[in-house]
Amino acid sequence: MLSRLGQHLESTLAPDAVLPTVATTVKEALKLPHAAIELERNGRFETVAATGEPVEDPLRLALVYRGETVGRLVLGPRIGEEAFTPADRRLLDDLAPQIGVAAHTVRLTDEALRLSADLQRSRERLVTAREEERRRLHRDLHDGLGPMLGSFTLKLDVAGDLLERDPAAALALLRALKAQVQGALNEIRQVVYTLRPSALDDLGLLGAIRETAAQYGARGLSISTEAPEELPPLPAAVEVAAYRIVQEALTNIVRHAHAREGVVRLELDEGAGTLRLEINDDGRGLSSGRGRGVGIASMRERAAELGGDCVVESLSAGGTRVRASLPCAKPAGGGDGRRHLDLAPIPEREE
């Protein structure tokens, strides 16, 4: 039986055919009515291969690889026999470690396929988000700012024509044009802010988070911040993700938690190259009857896009905790990857 199983495993098999082949070989060699293999996944055993008709009270042998239980071999005794003979048990005890190696390999293959699929989905989301952002910028610039700036040229030509024969009308037109230019600047600021919050460039990550926490204090919610005195330069993507996650977490506290107090904690693990965020509140916690909203999904996606993770959970003492871990290796080529566009207001001219 060992020889036959070895021949099957040495042959070229697709990953999804390995364990069914093992189960069939064991069943046929021992003339059993039923054989199955279960893999351990997230604390539960899932049947991944089975042959024959299931029986009551089958024998379950642990499949172990390097001290870790990776699955179970489930066998039904022969018809007319209530249990396996000592010789059968010795054979199965010798066989179980070999099957454990195969089960471990299949589990690794499944995990690799899952990670590959997750990576592909992440890439698709990134490409989709990038193209949607380009489309939005194209629409905002083409349909809004483009025509507005074009109209400024025409109005300046009209003001030039009026300057000699009707100076008062020319001055009124220029004043109206100045107000429109201010409006265009506001639109440009809005476009820039959607690309990267200006608070990050003006105040830095810690300052921007403290300012946001202070704003929520005006709504009757006390938010404290626990963080280092200063942070080293971080990649721009990490700063934006951290800031947006904190913003979303605080927004959820205000909208759903009915909390009185909250705390935002930042910790930089330079050895691991990781920025850790934790946002706690003393509210009512996550509602079991309400589905997870877009905000929670957005926080998780922002962390996952950088190779990190974000967990949202209820606390046993009450309240909710958001924990995020963001890899923050310095960007290649030096620098911190920041871009800043300074749009100063048009000064008022003294009359």
Q: Average pLDDT, stretch 117-144?
A: 77
**Whether residues 207 and 280 fall in one domain:** yes
Check pLDDT > 50 for residue 220: yes
- On whether the CB atoms of residues 29 and 1 are closer than 8 A, the answer is yes
Quote the DSSP letter at residue 345: P
- What pLDDT is recorded for position 334? 46
Q: How confident is the model at residue 259 (pLDDT cuts 50, 70, 90)?
A: confident
Q: Is 109 helix (H, G, I), strand (E, B) or coil?
A: helix
Residue 351: inside a domain: no
Whether pLDDT at 2 is above 60? yes
Instruction: Tell whether 232 and 178 lie within a shared domain.
Output: no
Residue at 286 is within a domain: yes
> Given a cut of 70, is residue 100 above it in pLDDT?
yes
H or E element at residue 274: strand 274-281
22 plus 68 within the same structural domain = yes
- Higher-confidence position of 195 and 154: 154
Cα–Cα distance for residue pair 41/111, rounded to 1 Å:
10
**pLDDT value of position 291:** 46
Q: What is the mean pLDDT of residues 155-170?
A: 87
- Cβ atoms 326, 277 nearer than 8 A: yes
pLDDT digits (tens, 9 = 90+) for 260-302: 889 999 999 988 889 999 999 988 877 665 545 677 888 998 8
Residue 346 lies in a domain: no
Contacting residues for 32 by C-beta, under 8 A, at least 6 apart:
26, 52, 75, 76, 77, 78
Percentage with pLDDT > 70 across the chain? 87
- Per the DSSP assignment, residues forming a β-bridge with 278 are 265, 323
Domain boundary among 64, 91, 116: 116
Let me know if residue 146 belongs to a domain: yes
Angstrom distance (rounded) from CA 164 to CA 218: 54
Q: What is the pLDDT of residue 110?
A: 85
Q: Which of 16-30, 70-84, 129-143, 271-285 has the lowest mean pLDDT?
A: 129-143
Q: Is the pLDDT of residue 6 over 50?
A: yes
Reported as a single tens digit per residue, the pLDDT across 308-351 is: 999 998 888 888 999 999 998 654 444 444 444 444 454 554 44
Distance (Å, whole) CA 22 – CA 4: 10
Residue 10's pLDDT is: 64
Is the alpha carbon torsion for 50, 52, 57, 58 positive or negative?
Answer: negative
Q: Residue 254 belongs to a domain with what CATH number? A: 3.30.565.10
Whole-angstrom CA distances from 128 to 80, 120, 125, 143, 224 are 62, 12, 5, 22, 36
- In this structure, what CATH number is given to the domain that contains residue 12? 3.30.450.40
Q: Name the least confident of 38-42, 256-260, 305-309.
A: 256-260
On whether residue 86 sits in a domain, the answer given is yes
Pair (7, 86) in one structural domain: yes
What separation in angstroms does the CA of 9 have from each of 5, 21, 98, 105, 219? 6, 8, 10, 12, 66
pLDDT more than 90, % of the chain: 22
- What does the pLDDT read at residue 124? 78
Task: Give yes or no for residue 45 having a pLDDT over 60.
Answer: yes
Mean of pLDDT values over 7-24: 77
Same domain for 307 and 237, yes or no, is yes
Element holding 322 (H helix, E strand): strand 320-327
Based on the domain organization, do 184 and 230 belong to the same domain? no
- What's residue 197's pLDDT? 80
Mean pLDDT of 136-147: 76
Count structural domains, the chain: 3
The reply to whether 189 and 249 lie within a common domain is no
Domain that holds residue 145: 126-195
Shared-domain flag, residues 277 and 177: no
Q: Which residue has the tokens 């990267």?
A: 196
42 Cβ neighbours under 8 A, 6+ residues apart: none
110-132: average pLDDT? 80
Q: Where are the beta strands (DSSP E) in 139-269?
A: 222-226, 261-269
Cα separation, 298 vs 90, whole angstroms? 54
Q: Which of 208, 261, 200 is closest to 235 using CA atoms?
A: 200
pLDDT of the residue at 12: 52
User: Is residue 25 assigned to a domain?
Assistant: yes
pLDDT computed for residue 272 by the predictor = 86
Q: Over the chain, what is the mean pLDDT?
A: 82
Q: What is the pLDDT of residue 246?
A: 93
Q: Does 121 map to a domain?
A: no
pTM here is: 0.50
Tokens of 350: 């003294």
The whole-number pLDDT of residue 47 equals 92
The reply to whether 136 and 66 lie within a common domain is: no
**Of 56, 81, 116, the domain-final residue:** 116
Is 154 a domain residue? yes
Which one of 162, 195, 228 terminates a domain?
195
